[in-house]
Amino acid sequence: MNRLLNLCLGVVLLAGVLLAITTSIIPARATSITSFIVNPFSTVDWFGEPNYEGDNFGTSVASAGDVNGDGYSDIIVGSPYYINGQSLEGRAYVYQGSGSGLDATPAWTFESDIENCQLGWSVASASDVNNDGFDDVLVGALYCTTSPDPNHREGRVYLFLGSSTGLSTTPAWWKEGEGFDESFGWSVASAGDVNSDGYGDVIIGAPWASYPEGHEGRAYVFHGTDSGLEDTAAWVAESDLPWTDFGQWVDSAGDVDDDGFTDVIIGHPGWASPEDAEGRAYVYMGSAVGLETTPAWTYESNIVDCELGTSVSDAGDVNGDGYADVLAGGVKCANPDNYEGVAYLFLGSATGLSLTPIWSQEGNQAFSHYSRSLASAGDVNDDGFGDIIIGAPYYDAGEEDEGLAFLYFGSAGGILPEPFYSKGGDQAGASFSFSVATAGDVNGDGIDDILVGAPAYDGGQDNEGRVTVYYGSIDAAARILLPLVVR
C-alpha cells in the first residue's frame, strides 16, 4: 500500500512539474486555456499482420505520403523474409488512409520473385519525384542480384510512382549496386528537393560498397525529373576507410539552415578516429546545383564501440523556430550498460546545425538497443512543435526482449527531457520498435499518427511480424501533459 501511495504521489508531483513547464511555454494569449492530451499509445487504432510464418513483417515501416492524392496519408511496410516460390524473396505492402483510418487490407503489394533478395529490408516515401501531384515510394532489396551466384548481393532499389488509382504495379525505375556484396538499398529515403527544382530527389545507402576499400560504404543521390528518377546518380559520397559502413543509414535532414534547399544526413557507424568504432554522422547541404561535395557538419561520439550513425533521421522542427533539426543514434553505446544505446538531437539555425547536441538520452538497460530506430513523429499532440519517437527493440519491460517505443514531445525549448509516453510490445521476443516512423495523417483529422513495427511478433504464426498505428489526438479543451508510467 505504501509503495502504491508513493507511486501515486510521484505521478501527481510529476504532473505538477510538467504543468509548470507547459504553462511557461504557452504564449500569453493562451495562458487561460487548459487541456488534456490523450495518450496516443493508450489504444491500438490499427494493426496489420501478414499471417505468414517467418515473414518479419514490419522490419521496415514508413509513411508513403499520399500515393493516390485523396488527401489521406498512406503507409508502406517491408517484409523481407517473405517466401512465395523463392526463399526470402521479400515483399512490400501499402495500406491507404481514409476518413476512418487505414484500410484493413493492402491496396498494393510487390514481391521480388528473386531468391534471397530480401525486398522490403528498407522502405520509404520518395516524395513526388516527377512532380505530378502524387507521392511515390522506394523499396530496398539489399541482397538482390542479377548474378547466377546468389551470394553476389549487389542490392537493388525500386521506385513505384503514385497516381489517382494508387501505386503502379510495376516499377518505374530500378537500380542495382555496381559491385559485389555492396548491399545497395540497405537504407533508402527521400532526400527532399536538394536543388529546389520542384522535383523530389532520393538518397540510397550502400554500406558494404568497396571502391576500392572493402566495406567502406557509399551514399548516392538521384534527382527527380518529369519522367521520374535520373538513371545516373547526381551525387556520390564514400568514406575511403575500410570496414566502416558509411551509408548504413541515410535520410533527408530537412532544411537545417532554411535556405530553401533540403539537406541530407548520413550515418557512418564504423568511423574510428580516435576511438575504435565510435561512429560519426554527416550533413551535406543542398544548393541550386545539388548537394555540396563536402559535409557542412559532422559529429562523432568519442565513445569506444558506440557506432554512432547506426541510425540518423530528420527530427522535424522540435522547437518551432523554422529550422529543421536532426537525430543521430549509436545503438552500441555503453554508459555503463553494454549496448544500451544513445540518441542525440541537434538543432538547426541560420548557420546550420548546432555543433553539440542540445539533448541526449540513453537506454539505461543493457542490450536494449535504444536508438536502433528513431524518427520524427510529426506533431502528434497538435501543439505546433515537432515530436520524436525512438525505439529500443530489445528492451525488457515486463517481457524479455519485447521492445519499447519512447515518444518525446517538442516545446519552445526543444525536446522535453523525459518521454511522455512509452509503449511495450507485450510479448517476449517481439522486437517491438525495431522500426518506427511518423505515419503522416492517415485519418484526416489534422493530427499526425505514429507507426511502429514488431517484426518478430507471433500472431497466429511464429515471427510473422506486426505493425501498429496509434492515432495522434488532442482534447481541444486542455493542455495538461501526463506521462504514461513505464512498467
- Is 476 part of a structural domain of the chain? yes
What is the distance between the alpha carbons of residues 125 and 109, in angstroms, rounded to a whole number? 15
- The H or E element that residue 325 is part of is strand 325-330
Q: Which amino acid is at 288?
A: A
- Is 330 part of a structural domain of the chain? yes
- Is 471 part of a structural domain of the chain? yes
Q: Which pTM value belongs to this model? A: 0.89
Burial string for 440-450 (b: 16+ CB within 10 Å, else e) reads bbbbeeebbbb
- Is 21 part of a structural domain of the chain? yes
- Is 7 part of a structural domain of the chain? yes
The tally of domains found in the chain comes to 1
- Is 246 part of a structural domain of the chain? no
What is the distance between the alpha carbons of residues 432 and 441, in angstroms, rounded to a whole number? 22
Q: Are 420 and 407 in contact (CB under 8 A)?
A: yes
Q: Tens-digit pLDDT profile for the chain (487 aa)?
A: 343 334 333 433 333 333 333 323 222 222 222 223 456 777 889 999 999 999 999 999 999 999 999 999 999 999 999 999 999 999 999 999 999 999 999 999 999 999 999 999 999 999 999 999 999 999 999 999 888 777 788 999 999 999 999 999 999 999 999 888 899 999 999 999 999 999 999 999 999 999 888 889 999 999 999 999 999 999 999 999 999 999 999 999 999 999 999 999 999 999 999 999 999 999 999 999 999 999 999 999 999 999 999 999 999 999 999 999 999 999 999 988 899 999 999 999 999 999 999 999 999 999 999 999 999 999 999 999 999 999 999 999 999 999 999 999 999 999 988 888 788 889 999 999 999 999 999 999 999 999 999 999 999 999 999 999 999 987 422 322 333 333 2
CATH number at residue 354: 2.130.10.130
- The H or E element that residue 20 is part of is helix 2-25
- Is 440 part of a structural domain of the chain? yes
List the domain range (segments joined by +) for residue 482: 1-49+307-487
Q: Find, among 390, 474, 483, the residue nearest to 37 by Cα.
A: 474
- Is 266 part of a structural domain of the chain? no
